[in-house]
Chains A and B, each alone.
Chain A
Amino acid sequence: EAGVTQFPSHSVIEKGQTVTLRCDPISGHDNLYWYRRVMGKEIKFLLHFVKESKQDESGMPNNRFLAERTGGTYSTLKVQPAELEDSGVYFCASSQAFNEGLYGYTFGSGTRLTVV
């Protein structure tokens, strides 16, 4: 089966601009997660979708970040306006309900965002 696909793989934008990251989960996976790794820090949770609904958005840093998952398929994460501290690698992961323990979460390769 195809894995989790993220694009772009890299993005360099200027402070104040807008960037939209996209994640295509594995087909049939209802659960979709966004995580972020800032330089020198651990991977941190941002939010969790179950189908098109936000199950948990406790990790979203502020209201400059907007995540959507229309139709319960792909998801987008928009940063507007971008700040220097938003630089990092943004990972998307997906899973089937009830199978997370057996198969874990499947992660994409990430989008490396650099804000200059």
Chain B
Amino acid sequence: EDQVTQSPEALRLQEGESSSLNCSYTVSGLRGLFWYRQDPGKGPEFLFTLYSAGEEKEKERLKATLTKKESFLHITAPKPEDSATYLCAVQADAGGTSYGKLTFGQGTILTVHP
């Protein structure tokens, strides 16, 4: 069974204090690892997809990296507006052309104080 574990559960940072969120996974053949951001009362918002070990993607203050067992979401010089829950999800390679379901971790609640 595919599993995703995120740590820490919650992270409080001062504005400008860089840090990393961790996502450890086990999956029967990784098709893609997804990072999402979720604000209160909203649905998850897509950030990145990573496909293979060694891959990196960046968007503003966020950088996601991938190894064979885990992914990191690095946040550089965060701002209060980066406060949200960050979700990691994996998609197994089930064959076929449609990607199929995501298996999510519980998320990391990030709070950035001014």
Contacts and interface: CB of A to CB of B under 8 A. Distances in A.
Nearest to A40: B106
Nearest to A37: B104
B104 A106 contact: no
A42 B106 contact: yes
A101 B105 contact: no
Interface size class of A (residues with CB under 8 A): 20 to 34
Given A91-B43, A108-B43, A42 B101 contact: no
A64 to B, nearest CB: 21
Contact of A102 (B36, B49, B89): B49
Interface size class of B (residues with CB under 8 A): 20 to 34
Contacts of A102: 49
A113 B51 CA distance: 35
A101 B33 CA distance: 9
A44 B104 contact: yes
Interface of B: 4, 32, 34, 36, 41-47, 49, 51, 87, 89, 91, 97-107
A-B pairs, top 10 by smallest CB distance, nearest first, are A104-B46, A107-B43, A100-B99, A45-B101, A43-B104, A42-B106, A101-B49, A42-B104, A107-B44, A109-B43
